Amino acid sequence: MCGIIGYVGNKKANSILIDGLLALEYRGYDSAGIATLENNEIKILKDKGRVKNILNLDGYDKLEGTYGIAHTRWATHGKPSKENSHPHFDNSKTFAVVHNGIIENYNELRAFLTENGYTFYSQTDTEVIPNLINYYFTKLNDSSKENNEKILEAVSSATKDLKGSYAIEVISPLIPETIIVARKDSPLVIGTSNGENFVASDIPALLTYTRDFYLLDDNELAVITKDSITFYNNNLDTYNKEIKNIEWDASAAEKNGYEDYMLKEIFEQPNSIRETIGSRLKLNEPCNFDDLDISADYLKNVNKIFIVACGTAMHAGLVGKVLLEKLCKIPTEVDIASEFRYRDPIIDDKTLCIYVSQSGETADTITALKLSKAKGAKTLAISNVIGSSITREADYTIYTHAGPEIAVASTKAYTSQVVLFAVLAIHFAEILGFGNSEITINSDGGTITLDNLKKDILSLPKKLNNILENTDIIKQFADEAFKEKDVFFLGRGIDETVAREGSLKLKEISYIHSEAYASGELKHGPIALIENGINVISILTDPSLAKKSISNIQEVITRGAKTMVVTNQDLEGHEFDYVIEIPEVCPLISPILSVVPLQLLAYYISKNKGLDVDKPRNLAKSVTVE
């Protein structure tokens, strides 16, 4: 849940480390610190608060070291404080470590080390790591071995004692201009350039410096100098690793003139949708998934699909469920990843499990995926990050092409995931032989052909632009609603999935309490909460449910609610306080359009409240702990 970075080269490391931390601050921002080697002594500067605070610490301007490590923290063990900030020393100040992840057995390790004379100065789980490295290093009395070999062995031995997740970077004055890294269940990438090398939690933090990356796998280690990178497995056998060239433009990780990353990413959605569709979908041709070798025989034997994800990705999965059931006639369930493995799901070799994670590093989702594989199911990952942990675990992987998403609250990742579900469902339907049939899409018996659905999908970028060019009414509603303490979201059918996502966005970045309900559930309890002046936001895009949805909205109006309706239906003869009109599209993919006004509403309300839109309190972008 934290961000780590490392640098070794010929330049002063401090500014490179700070720039990297600023790019990673969406992963955590309650404390930060850096460590560099100065006159053969490790110098650590750290404090609670944002990364920029490091710049004002005494001694920062005097740092001359050309290699170092750094960390920005999202607190899990120990409150945000200088003492709990990373990097952490061992007792002898021989080893400095930064760590992303959670050491589940740190209490046992702490007790063991205390019995062996070690003292601890923080509340963190991380502090056991440098002391454990020191413990193993001091036990290696083989004088025939060089320090770099002994330290590598000590790091390897220490990691074998760790239960949980970790991505760690280690430096020591005993091995100048060298960083040792290791990972298990937490992300770590190594960027390489001429005469300098980099380490980071995520690729975007390094795009300014390089596009050539090595992706470290679980239980692997690497020794990094400015001129070399040597990879080791858990037995310390060396091996070669393939370098990957990342095509993301470095400017994609910057704001490009927008006031906030979130606003930039909302306005990038037409392009991210276009890129995600890519060459996979064309008119008058079958969908193209060259990277997905799933046969008709396999699909015909699938008796259930599970979509497993967390947060916004789970809401995208709710839309995916509708698409897969409507187009492919395969029963589909959506599960919250953090609950999935604990309910002992009924899975076998006739189950297809789809796992969705923007970062590809969501710990709960990865753990659930491993469970499915153990039970014999085929697994398919949907991620935005090439080479991420989930993509290496799954049997199959397909990527959204949203580009780096920096704001903690997800926007373009959601719409990219939904459009990819739509294209995937069409692909499966074509494999199953439904390509020429009409698909029933709503309770009134409305139908659509796959070719017409493809046309609607291809029209989405233009229609999204239309919404983004007309935001005045959304801003007006936000100007009135930002002082409210409670907001309700309503929808029927597929619109209820969008209500959930709209409610989550508002909670995440404005800290306003909000709830989402299926409109028909109002009279079964929630309507007791509706009172004069309360804001109710409704999504209305399915013509077969329009009359019933309008009736539900009328119920809250008669109780004094203020209403905003996001719709592409004819509302003539009905009076609502605010109506946000969106382009007409097949209801199956309407969430890609109807969610955008809700994203903007949450954004404008947060700005009106003077909050940090990109870094909401207590949240981190990539949830790499359970």
Active-site residues, by number, are 2, 621
Q: How far is CA 138 from CA 131, 135, 151, 187, 385, in A?
A: 10, 6, 10, 29, 40
Gap between the Cα atoms of 448 and 586, Å rounded: 8
CB 508 within 8 A of CB 604: no
Gap between the Cα atoms of 11 and 566, Å rounded: 53
Tokens 């990705």 locate to: 313
Gap between the Cα atoms of 271 and 502, Å rounded: 21
Query: Which regions of 257-392 does DSSP assign to beta strands (E)?
Result: 304-309, 332-336, 351-357, 378-383
Gap between the Cα atoms of 13 and 36, Å rounded: 7
Query: Could you tell me which of 544, 593, 548 has the C-alpha nearest to residue 567?
Result: 593
Tokens 């190594």 locate to: 190
DSSP for 591-626 reads HHHHHHHHHHHHHHHHHHTT--SSS-TT--SS----
- The 3-state DSSP class for residue 294 equals coil
DSSP for 194-235 reads TTEEEEESSGGGGTTT-SEEEEPPTTEEEEE-SS-EEEE-TT
CB 393 within 8 A of CB 363: no
The residue length of the chain stands at: 626
Strands 196-200 and 189-193: antiparallel
CB 308 within 8 A of CB 369: yes
Gap between the Cα atoms of 537 and 215, Å rounded: 44
Gap between the Cα atoms of 18 and 34, Å rounded: 8
Gap between the Cα atoms of 83 and 168, Å rounded: 18
Please state whether the peptide bond connecting residue 87 to the residue before it is cis, i.e. omega within 30 degrees of 0: yes
